[in-house]
Amino acid sequence: MHFNDHPPPHFHARYGGRKAVVEIDSLAVLAGGLPPRVQGFVTEWGLRHASELRENWDRVQRDEAPHPIEPLE
Protein backbone atom coordinates (compact mmCIF):
# COMPACT_ATOMS: atom_id res chain seq x y z
CA MET A 1 0.00 0.00 0.00
CA HIS A 2 1.05 3.55 -0.60
CA PHE A 3 0.37 6.53 1.65
CA ASN A 4 -2.51 8.77 0.51
CA ASP A 5 -3.23 6.47 -2.44
CA HIS A 6 -6.34 6.86 -4.59
CA PRO A 7 -9.62 4.99 -3.98
CA PRO A 8 -10.91 2.34 -4.16
CA PRO A 9 -9.08 0.66 -1.27
CA HIS A 10 -6.46 -1.61 -2.80
CA PHE A 11 -3.03 -3.15 -2.42
CA HIS A 12 -0.16 -3.72 -4.80
CA ALA A 13 1.15 -7.24 -5.48
CA ARG A 14 4.45 -8.05 -7.22
CA TYR A 15 5.87 -11.31 -8.50
CA GLY A 16 8.85 -11.90 -10.80
CA GLY A 17 8.74 -8.48 -12.41
CA ARG A 18 4.94 -8.54 -12.82
CA LYS A 19 2.66 -6.22 -10.85
CA ALA A 20 -1.04 -5.99 -10.07
CA VAL A 21 -3.26 -3.56 -8.22
CA VAL A 22 -5.92 -5.54 -6.31
CA GLU A 23 -9.11 -4.10 -4.81
CA ILE A 24 -9.47 -5.10 -1.16
CA ASP A 25 -13.24 -5.67 -1.07
CA SER A 26 -13.68 -7.70 -4.27
CA LEU A 27 -10.07 -8.89 -4.77
CA ALA A 28 -10.50 -7.95 -8.42
CA VAL A 29 -7.40 -6.94 -10.35
CA LEU A 30 -7.76 -3.24 -11.16
CA ALA A 31 -4.53 -2.89 -13.13
CA GLY A 32 -1.66 -5.04 -14.27
CA GLY A 33 -1.66 -8.79 -13.91
CA LEU A 34 -0.02 -11.82 -12.38
CA PRO A 35 0.34 -15.41 -13.58
CA PRO A 36 -2.89 -17.34 -12.84
CA ARG A 37 -1.35 -19.55 -10.13
CA VAL A 38 0.14 -16.52 -8.35
CA GLN A 39 -3.14 -14.61 -8.67
CA GLY A 40 -4.82 -17.54 -6.93
CA PHE A 41 -2.37 -17.25 -4.03
CA VAL A 42 -2.96 -13.49 -3.83
CA THR A 43 -6.74 -14.05 -3.76
CA GLU A 44 -6.46 -16.69 -1.03
CA TRP A 45 -4.19 -14.42 1.03
CA GLY A 46 -6.55 -11.48 0.53
CA LEU A 47 -9.55 -13.52 1.70
CA ARG A 48 -7.70 -14.64 4.83
CA HIS A 49 -6.54 -11.14 5.69
CA ALA A 50 -9.40 -8.92 4.47
CA SER A 51 -9.97 -7.16 7.79
CA GLU A 52 -6.24 -6.52 8.25
CA LEU A 53 -6.00 -5.13 4.71
CA ARG A 54 -8.93 -2.76 5.34
CA GLU A 55 -7.38 -1.65 8.63
CA ASN A 56 -4.03 -1.00 6.94
CA TRP A 57 -5.76 0.93 4.15
CA ASP A 58 -7.31 3.20 6.79
CA ARG A 59 -3.93 3.56 8.52
CA VAL A 60 -2.02 4.62 5.40
CA GLN A 61 -4.78 7.11 4.52
CA ARG A 62 -4.03 8.75 7.89
CA ASP A 63 -0.26 8.69 7.13
CA GLU A 64 0.27 5.94 9.71
CA ALA A 65 2.50 2.95 9.06
CA PRO A 66 0.65 -0.25 8.13
CA HIS A 67 0.90 -3.27 10.39
CA PRO A 68 2.70 -6.31 8.98
CA ILE A 69 0.44 -9.04 7.60
CA GLU A 70 1.56 -12.67 7.70
CA PRO A 71 2.44 -14.23 4.34
CA LEU A 72 0.58 -17.20 2.92
CA GLU A 73 2.17 -20.41 4.18
Q: Quick: pLDDT tens for 17-37.
A: 999 999 999 999 999 999 999
Q: Is 45 exposed, middle or buried (0-12, 13-18, 19+ CB in 10 A)?
A: buried
Q: Determine the pLDDT at residue 5.
A: 87
In the structure, what pLDDT confidence band is assigned to residue 3 with cuts at 50, 70 and 90?
Answer: confident
Q: Is 46 exposed, middle or buried (0-12, 13-18, 19+ CB in 10 A)?
A: buried
pLDDT value at 63 more than 90: yes
CA distance 30 to 47: 17
Q: Quick: pLDDT tens for 35-59.
A: 999 999 999 999 999 999 999 999 9
Q: CB–CB of 10/21 below 8 Å? A: yes
At 22 the three-state DSSP class reads strand
